[in-house]
Amino acid sequence: MTMTENNQTAVGADRYTIISADCHAGGSHKAYREYLDPEFLDDFDAWRGEYKNPYKDMGDKRRLRNWDNEMRNSQQEEDGIVGEVVFPNTVPPFFPSFVLFAKPPTDEQYRHRRAGIHAHNRWLVDWCGEFPERRAGVGQIFLNDVDDAIEDVRWIKEHGLRGGILLPNIAPDVKWVKPLYDPCYDPLWQVLQDLDVPVNVHSGTGNPDYGPYPTAMMLYINEVPFYTERPMVQMMLSGVFERFPRLRVVITESGCSWVPPLLERLNFVIRGVRDAGAIGEIRYGKDQVLSHDATDYFEQNFWMGVSQPKQADVEARHQIGLHKFMWGSDYPHDEGTYPYT
């Protein structure tokens, strides 16, 4: 055997344990019904009777990938993936659309929509529990009521959803829920830190309503990265990580090449406020001074779920740190890497 043949054999024999930091799953409406509180069943039946499914992949056999164990596990194994962080994917009870696209509920919608995410979370606990070594589920919460959010975080922790919580990304046109930089959320950050529950921000959330224009979806896709960055900016500049240094945040399916230039801009602002009390003609008070740079907070508090990495993301891996870079397949979405992982 030649040295070249020997090297090829050695490389071919290597097997990698691949864990995807970004996969999606959800229950069918029939399954969710079994997990709803009884008081909502009549309303659910009425809602389900009127719901029109706009998603092709939820109307054919592809929908089974969201919950069918045999199909899902065989496809994951075919793709070389043995573990997955599981974000939501289907339409929970009383939601108007796919869960990541839906805006936070209004006061009128809140009670029913919260019952809907409770049904999803209960379903997810059982579904992940069928293969606990493979699946780390991400539970859902709302931010409309901080006490309710804390109650749901505790439930998620107690019931073993290891993926943490999906943080609602508040769009600028959502005026009925306070922005992430509001100090009203400090009790929530405290509980998340104390319980060591990861906080997840997923792309596709936080965009405003673009209206009924032909370019609306093009604008949406183009601006997804910007709105996915906003929680990092808002939480850093409002001192969340100054007050809660052990809080862990993961930003998923938005690449990572944007992180170094963003941190550079944030460093400029933070240092200007700290060292000079001003940025240009704008003056800042002592209560706005942060003791660390943005690069320090990133190292302390952030990880990146880099799904379908572009060349620029791969090249940025050493800048952000290999220990911060987590690959994801985005299964079962069409833009994901299955079956070519």
Domain ranges of the chain: 17-328
pLDDT at 9: 44
The single-letter code of the amino acid at 34 is E
The answer to whether the peptide bond before residue 187 is cis (omega within 30 degrees of 0) is no
Give the model's pLDDT for residue 98: 87
CA distances to 35, 49, 121, 152 from 27, rounded to whole Å, are: 10, 17, 10, 19
Structure tokens at 106: 């209004």
pLDDT at 341: 83
β-strand pairing of 282-283 with 278-279 = antiparallel
Who contacts 170 (Cβ-Cβ below 8 Å, separation ≥6)? 104, 143, 177, 178, 179, 180, 206
In the numeric block, which tokens belong to residue 236? 């850093």
Distant-in-sequence, close-in-space partners of 142: CB < 8 Å, separation ≥ 6 = 104, 105, 110, 113, 114, 117, 148, 149, 152, 168, 177
- Strand locations in 58-214 (E): 81-88, 135-140, 164-166, 199-202
Q: What is the CATH number of domain 17-328?
A: 3.20.20.140
Q: What is the pTM of this model?
A: 0.93
Q: For position 10, what pLDDT does the model report?
A: 46
Tokens of 113: 């929509």
Per DSSP, 133 falls in state T
- Number of Cβ within 10 Å of residue 171's Cβ equals 18
Residue 267, CA distances (Å) to 6, 232, 261, 264, 296 in order: 50, 13, 10, 5, 10
Per residue of the chain (341 residues), give pLDDT as tens. Answer: 444 444 444 444 566 789 999 999 999 999 999 999 999 999 999 999 998 877 666 667 888 999 999 999 999 999 999 999 999 999 999 999 888 999 999 999 999 999 999 999 999 999 999 999 999 999 999 999 999 999 999 999 999 999 999 999 999 999 999 999 999 999 999 999 999 999 999 999 999 999 999 999 999 999 999 999 999 999 999 999 999 999 999 999 999 999 999 999 999 999 999 999 999 999 999 999 999 999 999 999 999 999 989 999 999 999 999 999 999 999 999 899 999 88
Interhelix angle for 216-237 vs 259-276, to 10°? 40
Local structure of 91: helix, strand or coil = coil
- What is the model's pLDDT at position 58? 64
- Strand-strand pairing, 249-252 and 278-279: unpaired
Find the angle CA(259)-CA(261)-CA(265) to the nearest 5 degrees. Answer: 110
Long-range pairs of 236-240 with CB within 8 A, sequence gap ≥ 24: 236/266, 236/270, 236/290, 236/294, 236/297, 237/181, 237/266, 237/269, 237/270, 237/290, 238/180, 238/181, 238/182, 238/183, 239/290, 240/180, 240/181, 240/185, 240/189
Amino acid at 246: R
The pLDDT assigned to 143 comes to: 99
Q: How far apart are the first and last CA of the chain?
A: 30
Q: For the residues of 263-312, what is the DSSP string, one character each?
A: HHHHHHHHHHHHHHSEETTEE--GGG--SS-HHHHHHHHEEEEEES--HH
